[in-house]
A and B are shown apart, each in its own frame.
Chain A
Amino acid sequence: MRTIYYLIRKEFIQIFRDKFLGRAIFAIPIVQMLILVPAVTFEIKEVRLCIVDKDMTTESRELVGKLVGSTFFKVGHTTFPEREANELLNRDQCDLILQIPAGFGKDIGKGTPTQLMASANAINAMNAQLSWAYLNGVILDYNMNILAREISSRSFSPIPQIEVTNRYWYNELLNYNFYMQPGILGILVLAIGFILAGLNLVKEKEIGTIEQMNVTPVKKYQFILAKIIPFLIIGLIDLALGIAIGILVFNVPFEGSIWLLFLCSTIFLIAVLGLALLISTFSGTQQQFMFTGFFFMIIFILMSGIFTPIESMPVWAQKIDLLNPVVYIMRINRMVMLKGSTFQDIQTEFLALVLYAIATTTLAVNRYRKTA
C-alpha cells in the first residue's frame, strides 16, 4: 500500500509540475462545456425558404403567410421562374424551395385535390429531413383549416376531431442543452483521462524510466493502479466542474442522485483508463498510442448515441456497440440527470461497466511486462 502511495505522489508531482498540463486538465473541460453544450444542437431555426408562387391567389397567400409566421422558416426569396429558384439552391442561398402551381387556389375552391412541390438541399440529410418535416407540419395544418372551413360551412354542428395534446417528458421544453450536456459530460470525462493516462505510460517507456521501475520490486498491479488513480481523481474533479457548469450556466436540471452519478463515473473511468493503459502496453511510442487511441475514441464517441440514436443503427453496429463503454455512461448520465433514475433503473448499464472495468484493468496488469 505504501508503495502505491509513493508512486501516486510521484504522478501528481509530475502532472502539476508541468505548468501547461496542470492548468489544461481543468481549463479544457470548462471551455469544452461552455462551447459544446450550446453549440452542438439539432434544433433548426430559420430554414431559408424560397417560394415560387405561380398561383397568386388568396389561398396561396394564406399558405405563404402561415410559413412566414412560423419561427422555423425565413422566407428569403420569392421568385417566379423555377430555374432561378433552383439556381438559388445550387448556390446555397436557400435550403428549401416550395412551389405552388398555378391553379392551386382554384382547385381548392372546386374541391379537387391539388399539389405542391418542395425541393430540399439534402447535403445535410438530417437538416433536409427536419425542415421537410416542419414544412409538412405547416401544410398539414393549413389543409386541416380548409377542411374544417368547408365542412362547417355545410353543417351547423362542429366537426368531430381528434385533438392530440402532447407533453415531452423529462425535457418539457425540448431544450437541446439539457439533452447534450449529460452526454458531453461523459465524453469530457473519457477524453482527458484516456489520453493522459495512456501517454503517461508510453512516455515512461520512451525515456526509459520504466526500466528503472521494472528493476525494482514494484508489483505489476501496484504500478497500474498508481497510473489509474491519479487520472481517476482528475477525471472526477473534471466531472464535478462539468456538472457545476451545467447547473449554473445552462440550468440543466439534476433530478437524480449525484452520488450515484459519481459512482458510475468512477467505474466508467476505471474501465477506460484500464483500456488506455492496455493499449499503451502494446505501444512503443507516443505516436503509436495516439494513433490507436484516437481510433477507439472516435468510434466510441460517434457510436455512443450522443448524436444519433443507437436504435437506428444497423443491428451489427448495435452489437459492436455492446463493447462501447461510452454508450453505458451516456445512458446513465441522461437517465440520472434528466429523469432522476435510481440504481434499480440503471443496473444493467452499471453491471456492464463493472465487467468492462474488471476486464480492462486485469488485461492491462497482465499485459504489462516487467521482464522482456
Chain B
Amino acid sequence: MKNTVISVRNLVKKFGNFIANDNLTFEVYKGEIFGFLGANGAGKTTAIRILSGLSKPTSGEVIVAGFDARKQPEQIKKNIGYMCQKFSLYEDLTVKENIMLYGGIYGMKKQLIRDRTRSLLERLQFEEYGDRLIAALPLGLKQKLAFSVAVLHEPKIVFLDEPTGGVDPITRRQFWEMIYETAARGITVFVTTHYMDEAEYCDRVSIMNEGKIEALDTPAGLKKQYQAGSIEEVFISIARPGKN
C-alpha cells in the first residue's frame, strides 16, 4: 500500500486564454523522487507553484500533504520546502543568518537551529563559509545551501524547480547525492528539470509537453514503452512526434 502525499486530479491552470496546465492528473508517493521533465514553457513551473501554494488552480483537485491547495495553501506551506533556481536566499545576509531566519520562520527552537546549522555546514564541508555573505559564494555552493535550507525544517515534501540550472557537472552530481540522502530520510522530492540525464536518477518521471502530461512511469518503464535507449530519446519522440 503506497502512501500518497500529492494527489492531483484534472488540474487546469489558465492565464487568460493560455492554458498553462491542461488537465493534469497524477499522484506522488511518500519518499520517492518524482521528476517533472519538460521543455521550457511546458508548464512545469506553473504546476510546481500551484502544488506549493503560491498559485491557485483554475479548476481541478490538488491535495498536497493532506491539504487542499485551493482552500488551505497556508497549511501546505507548513509542510513543504521550496527551492527555485532563479533566487533563493538573501544575498546580503550571511550563510548563518539565512539559516537562522528560515529556521525561525518555521518555528524551530533556537538551539535546534544552531545544531542543524552546525551539522549542515559540516555535511557540506562549508564550515569556513558560515559568516560569509551569500553574494560572495559561487553559484554551485549557493544552490546546495539553498537546498539544505529548504529541508532544514524536515518538511514532508520538498519542491525543487530546476535546482541545477547553470551549475557545473560535478556540483550537479553532488546535488543529486543530496537529493538521494533527503529522500532516504523519508522526505518526498518533487523536482523539475530539463536535463535528460537527471531524469534517469528519478524514481518516476512525468514528461510534460505544451501543458499536458504525455507520459508517466519509471525511467526504465518509459524507455521500454517508447522502445528507446535513453530518456532523451523518449523525450524527443514525445516532444516532436512528426520528426521521429
Contacts and interface: CB of A to CB of B under 8 A. Distances in A.
15 contacts: A3-B104, A5-B104, A13-B92, A18-B92, A207-B87, A207-B91, A209-B89, A212-B87, A212-B88, A215-B77, A215-B82, A217-B107, A370-B54, A370-B73, A372-B56
A217 B77 contact: yes
Contacts of B86: 208
Interface residues of A, number: 26
Contacts of B82: 212, 215
Contacts of A214: 54
Contact of A211 (B87, B89, B90): B87
A6 B104 contact: yes
Interface in B60-110: 73-74, 77-78, 80, 82, 84, 86-93, 97, 100-102, 104-107
Nearest to A3: B105
Given A6-B100, A18-B92, A372-B54, A218 B87 contact: no
A219 B78 CA distance: 11
> Which of A17, A18, A371 neighbours the largest number of chain B CB atoms within 10 Å of its CB?
A371
Contacts of B107: 2-3, 217
Interface in A319-372: 370-372
Given A6-B100, A212-B84, A372-B55, A218 B105 contact: yes
B114 to A, nearest CB: 14
Given A9-B101, A216-B105, 18 more contacts: A2-B107, A3-B104, A3-B107, A6-B101, A6-B105, A7-B105, A10-B93, A13-B97, A14-B90, A14-B92, A14-B93, A18-B92, A207-B87, A208-B86, A209-B87, A216-B106, A370-B53, A371-B56
A322 B200 CA distance: 66
Nearest to B109: A2
* Secondary structure type dominating chain A contacts: helix
Nearest to A215: B82
A116 B84 CA distance: 81
Nearest to B94: A13
Interface in A1-43: 2-3, 5-7, 9-10, 13-14, 17-18
A371 to B, nearest CB: 6
A208 B107 CA distance: 23
Interface of B: 49, 52-56, 73-74, 77-78, 80, 82, 84, 86-93, 97, 100-102, 104-107
A10 B97 CA distance: 8
Contacts of A209: 87, 89-90
Given A207-B87, A217-B78, A13 B52 contact: no
Nearest to B82: A215
A188 B104 CA distance: 34
Contacts of A372: 49, 54-56
Interface of A: 2-3, 5-7, 9-10, 13-14, 17-18, 207-209, 211-219, 370-372
B18 to A, nearest CB: 15
B87 A208 contact: yes
Nearest to A2: B104
Contacts, number: 75
A10 B101 contact: yes
A209 B54 CA distance: 13
Contacts of B56: 371-372
A215 B54 contact: yes
A72 to B, nearest CB: 55
> Which of A7, A10, A18, A207 neighbours the largest number of chain B CB atoms within 10 Å of its CB?
A10
Contacts of A14: 90, 92-93
B87 to A, nearest CB: 4
A203 to B, nearest CB: 10
Contacts of A3: 104-105, 107
A196 to B, nearest CB: 15
B199 to A, nearest CB: 24
A217 B92 contact: no
> Which of A2, A9, A216, A372 neighbours the largest number of chain B CB atoms within 10 Å of its CB?
A216
Contacts of A9: 101
Contact of A217 (B54, B55, B106): B106
A47 to B, nearest CB: 54
Give the top 10 A-B pairs by smallest Cβ distance, nearest first. A6-B104, A208-B87, A215-B82, A217-B78, A217-B77, A372-B55, A216-B105, A10-B101, A215-B52, A14-B92
Contacts of A219: 74
Contacts of A18: 92
A19 to B, nearest CB: 11
Contacts of A6: 100-101, 104-105
A218 B53 CA distance: 13
A214 B53 CA distance: 9
A8 to B, nearest CB: 11
Contacts of A10: 90, 93, 97, 101
Contacts of A211: 54, 84, 87
Nearest to A223: B105
Given A10-B93, A14-B92, A371 B73 contact: yes
